[in-house]
Amino acid sequence: MANLEAYRHISPDSGFPTTIHPHFNPKIRDHVPSDPARVEVDPGRDRAAFADPEKKSLRAVAGLVDLTESIGTVLEGVQLSQLNEQQLDELALLVSERSVVFFRDQDLSTDQQVKLFEHYGRSDLILYANIGSLSNSRFGKITGELDKHPAQKGQRHVTIRGSTGDARQDSNYTPWPIAEFHADTSFEINPPSYSMLRMEEHPAVGGDTAWVSSYGLYDALSEAFKTFVDGLHAVHTSRLQYDTIVDLWGTGPNRPPIDTHHPAVRTHPVTGLKALNVNPGFVTGFAELKKAESDKLLDFFNYHIHSADDHYVRWKWAVGSVAMWDNRTAVHRAIPGTYSGERRGVRTTVFGEKPFLDPNSEGRTHRAERLAKGDRAGNAIHANGPLVNGHTTNGEKGEHGADFENSGEAN
């Protein structure tokens, strides 16, 4: 973070850096984005909706080990490079249920990873909209590009590195909370669905990543608070990231900054479950509230996320480790540290549907309670129960045409 403009302007009184207004920071003021803004697109049906709810094909080649009750599963004894299309669909369903799935000792190359992830975002799923191609439709043309880092050019993946700077100190001089929990580029009109990170270099200690279940964050709220938040739109913005990236790296972003108003609670298109759609990295307020009200609510959600140990998983990386997560059902952050050695990974990301809240959807806890009552009434429910370690029960349908069909098996 030493490249921030503020570090070049030291106060003679305190000896500390002084913040420069973006209009007077030449790096920010003079940057002209190369690409047009994105517009809404129709991503087509999520690949998880095509999966066998019981995941028989995936279970035939891999062992499933849940790391916590709420979030995180390790797949053992399998290479991602060997999975067929049916197994990849079942993997997407598992990720939709468990929010993040981990692998160790994978043999994927970068080209193989990009090709694998195209399964989740081929011509009908990968969402780079070209404004110049619009006709009378509100949907943009889909050109088949994977998500790109705003400061990395000419590649179809994102190179992820570690940070050993003092994020708490650097936050004085940059508006974007760069080390906070976030869902990848949640400010997009069509925010990302699935992301995959594969580690190529990593220190022996440090550089972990943590995820928190957005299903669990919603479930942990009181009923009165759920009703309140169900009625709000969260303001997701790229403005703060835009200024920070230009200031820090002197290049990018590719597109102008945007604000989007997404439901503060969203419905997953496949599981049909409600998830909290608020993250400290990109959410700056709530459209329906006044600023003081928004600020207090943001303070609460920041506390709520950081204190959610019962919906939290932390992954210790090694070279060859892979994580695949669903940005619609989890927030994550790289844990800051002072470790030595290189940390470098390759991330691929595809975009999903525009967030929506189905008023008929429900949280995980509500579904478990409802189906448990049905079980006592004699309905046919899996013997292991309606909800075991975050794996939801078959038979639920959603209004958007997706099958809310998930396995009820314990692992």
Query: What confidence tens digit (pLDDT) does each residue in 337-371 have?
Result: 888 888 889 999 999 999 999 999 999 999 999 99
- Determine the Cα–Cα distance for residues 197 and 192; give it in Å rounded to an integer: 14
Work out the mean pLDDT of the chain and round it to a whole number. 81
Q: What is the pLDDT of residues 18-43, one digit of tens each?
A: 766 677 677 767 777 777 777 888 88
- Rounded to a whole number of angstroms, the CA Rg of the chain reads 21
Look at residue 133 and tell me whether its pLDDT is greater than 60. Answer: no
Residue type, 385: G
List alpha helices for 80-136, DSSP H. Answer: 85-98, 110-117
CB–CB of 229/381 below 8 Å?
A: no
Q: What is the pLDDT of residues 199-226, one digit of tens each?
A: 998 989 999 999 999 999 999 999 999 9
pLDDT given at position 40: 87
Look at residue 286 and tell me whether its pLDDT is greater than 90. Answer: yes
What's the pLDDT band for 140 if we cut at 50, 70, 90? very low
Query: Which is higher by pLDDT, 77 or 402?
Result: 77
Q: What is the pLDDT of residues 153-187, one digit of tens each?
A: 555 556 666 666 777 787 777 778 888 999 999 99
pTM of the model: 0.81
- Using CA atoms, how far residue 154 sits from 19, 109, 206, 246, 263, in Å, is 32, 18, 30, 18, 33
Answer positive or negative: Cα dihedral of 46, 323, 71, 89.
positive
pLDDT given at position 2: 60
Residue given tokens 């290479």 in the structure block: 79
Across the range 93-104, mean pLDDT stands at 98
Q: What is the pLDDT of residues 294-348, one digit of tens each?
A: 999 999 999 999 999 999 999 999 999 999 999 999 999 999 888 888 888 999 9
Look at residue 411 and tell me whether its pLDDT is greater than 90. Answer: no
pLDDT given at position 77: 97
